[in-house]
Structure formats: C-alpha cells, structure tokens
C-alpha cells in the first residue's frame, strides 16, 4: 500500500496574482494510522509555508469521503457529498476548516 505523498508548494505568479499549488496523494483508511497522521502533518506543514496573502490550491487524491452531513463544517462545505464521512474525510474536513 502507498504511504501517501505530498510535494512542497509550487509558487506561481500570473498577472499579479501569487498562488501556491500543492499536489498530494493521501494513504487510504486501511493504512497504518501513524502513517496517515504523518501524511496530514506534512501536508499541514506544506500549507503553513504558503503566505495567507496568496491563493493556495490543494489538489490530488485525498482518499476521503466527506459525506452529506456538514454539521460543524457549514462554512467550508455544502451538503452535496455522497455517502457517509470516513476517517480520512474527517481529517480532510478538519484540515480545510483550520486552513
């Protein structure tokens, strides 16, 4: 199984807009919880390297299901997901909320 990966932010500037692009691939829920925690800690660290004045785009495969229940996450997600939230979905929703 893949332990997941995240690359350092790629800084781009176009027409006066600075943006950071972070590409990631998260481990699945079946993977070792310590490895998943290490992945999300590294991803948080990469996000924290980005200036809050810049546009930051996070792209990739989060292996997460956020589901339809947006209770507590109303400011960052709607109710148009599918199924039930899984553990990676909870981690991903928390990451988005605090960043």
Q: Which of 26, 25, 21 is nearest to 8 (CA)?
A: 21
Region at 72 (left for phi over 0; alpha for psi -120 to 50; beta for the rest): left
Q: What's the pLDDT at 1?
A: 42
**More confident site: 72 or 9:** 72
pLDDT at 2 over 70: no
For residue 66 the two structure tokens come to 């956020």
């Amino acid at each position: 199984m893949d332990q997941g990966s995240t690359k350092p932010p790629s800084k781009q500037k176009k027409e006066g807009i600075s943006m950071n692009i972070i590409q990631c691939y998260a481990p699945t829920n079946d993977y070792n919880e310590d490895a998943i925690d290490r992945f999300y800690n590294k991803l948080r660290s990469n996000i924290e390297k980005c200036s809050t004045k810049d546009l930051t785009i996070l792209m990739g495969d989060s292996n997460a299901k956020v589901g339809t229940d947006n209770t507590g996450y109303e400011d960052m997600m709607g109710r148009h997901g599918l199924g039930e939230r899984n553990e990676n979905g909870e981690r991903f929703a928390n990451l988005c909320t605090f960043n």
